Each structure stands twice: as structure tokens, then as C-alpha cells.
Amino acid sequence: MLDDLKQLGFTWATRAGATIGIVDVVTPARKREILEGYETKADKVQSQYEKGLITDDERRQELIEIWTKPQTKLQKRWKITSHVPIQFG
């Protein structure tokens, strides 16, 4: 989501004379809490791999599934704010 926003910014900022800075992106308050739960799950999968209980392919697939969920949750909570009023025309 932020990459798409960045690309839009590069494409249109010079035409519109507008910019978006990192201070305009508000990090979700529960980000750390959300990520900690998934880090625990990822650590468990890594431990299973190190013990030989799952293959490298299984480990990779599970990690992808684990980290996709918080990414989706966080994307829904990202907010863009503007410290400068936006005026058109």
C-alpha cells in the first residue's frame, strides 16, 4: 500500500505541486501488539524447522502465511494525515 502511494506521489506530485512526507503517515497504535503475536508464531515454525519436524519448503510456506495476516491487518489501520490543508483550484 505504501509503495503504491509512493509511486502515485512520484507520478503526480510535480504536476499537482503536492507532497506527502513520512510525518503524514500515522502508525497504528496496536502495531507492536499485532506483530508480537505473529513473531511468536514465526518463532515456533522456525523451531520446528530447526528440530527437523518440517522441511524448508514447509517452513517458507508457513512463514508466508503467517506474515501475510498482520500485513493485511495493518494496512487496514494505516492512516494518512495532512498537516497542511489541501486546496484544489
pTM over 0.85: no
Model pLDDT for residues 48-61, shown as the tens digit of each residue: 999 999 999 999 99
Determine the Cα angle at 25 with ends 21 and 27, to 5°: 145
Tell me the average pLDDT across 10-27.
Answer: 68
Residue 38: predicted pLDDT: 92
> Which band of pLDDT confidence, cut at 50, 70 and 90, is reported for residue 74?
confident
Q: What is the mean pLDDT of the chain?
A: 79
Residue 88 has pLDDT above 50, yes or no: no
Instruction: Give the domains, in start order, of the chain with CATH numbers.
Output: 25-84 (1.10.132.30)
Higher pLDDT: 6 or 79? It is: 6
The per-residue DSSP string of 44-85 comes to HHHHHHHTTSS-HHHHHHHHHHHHHHHHHHHHHH-EE--SS-
